[in-house]
């Protein structure tokens, strides 16, 4: 369906309704949070932020980011995806792939949270371990998560927005 409703024409040739715009806005929020987290992590890796300063900065942001993603995926998995997949049989395989992505991303979320917790624990060990090594491990997990997430958000939009434009948002409770 993306061929009928190419991304370059969204909002110009093809109108995006309230539900579609909400979806895009939520995804853009995740992109912005991801970019902010990535920039902060890079500053810590480059020594522009001390490990303890970074921990105090990133912990609440990471909790919000991971919690928001988890909640967003649950709503999609249990509410939207079943309805969207039933709307057009041709898209079932795409929604199955998005569901698989959610499982992979959930595993990445858990690894990211574990690496963040390990980093915090190293900081709290008061010099018994090198926080740089724990920070490097966290950064690797974070970069993997962010890379997978960015790809997933685009794939999801390329499946959902054309469906909403094709069938109309009212069918899905949109406004």
Query: Helix crossing, 131-167 with 92-124: angle to 10°?
Result: 160
pLDDT-derived band at 154, boundaries 50, 70, 90: very high
CB-based contact 173:79 (threshold 8 Å) = no
Highest-pLDDT range among 69-73, 79-83, 151-155: 151-155
Percent of the residues in the chain that have a pLDDT greater than 70, as a whole number: 98
Contact 4, 162 (CB under 8 A): yes
pLDDT tens-digit readout, 115-143: 999 999 998 887 778 899 999 999 999 99
74-128 pLDDT per residue, tens: 999 898 899 999 998 999 999 999 999 999 999 999 999 999 999 999 988 877 7
Instruction: Assess contact for 157 and 27: CB atoms under 8 A.
Output: yes
Alpha-carbon torsion (162, 166, 169, 173), positive or negative: negative
Third-level CATH fold of 7-167: 1.20.120
- What pLDDT, on the 0 to 100 scale, is given for residue 163? 94
Q: What is the pLDDT of residue 174?
A: 61
Calpha distance 52→154 (Å, rounded)? 34
* DSSP assignments along 33-73, one per residue: HHHHHHHHHHHHHTTSS-HHHHHHHHHHHHHHHHHHHHHHH
DSSP classification of residue 5? S
Q: How many helices (H) and strands (E) does the chain have?
A: 5, 0
């Amino acid at each position: 369906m993306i061929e009928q409703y190419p991304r370059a024409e969204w909002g110009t040739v093809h109108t995006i309704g309230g539900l579609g715009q909400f979806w895009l806005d939520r995804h853009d929020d995740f992109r912005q949070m991801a970019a902010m987290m990535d920039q902060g992590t890079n500053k810590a890796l480059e020594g522009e932020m001390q490990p303890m300063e970074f921990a105090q900065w990133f912990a609440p942001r990471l909790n919000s980011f991971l919690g928001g993603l988890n909640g967003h995926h649950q709503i999609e998995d249990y509410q939207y995806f079943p309805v969207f997949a039933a709307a057009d049989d041709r898209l079932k395989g795409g929604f199955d792939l998005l569901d698989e992505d959610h499982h992979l991303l959930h595993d990445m979320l858990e690894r990211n949270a574990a690496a963040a917790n390990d980093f915090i624990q190293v900081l709290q060990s008061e010099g018994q371990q090198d926080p740089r090594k724990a920070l490097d491990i966290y950064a690797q997990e974070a970069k993997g998560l962010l890379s997978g997430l960015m790809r997933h958000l685009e794939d999801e939009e390329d499946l959902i927005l054309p469906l909403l434009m094709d069938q109309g948002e009212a069918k899905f409770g949109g406004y």
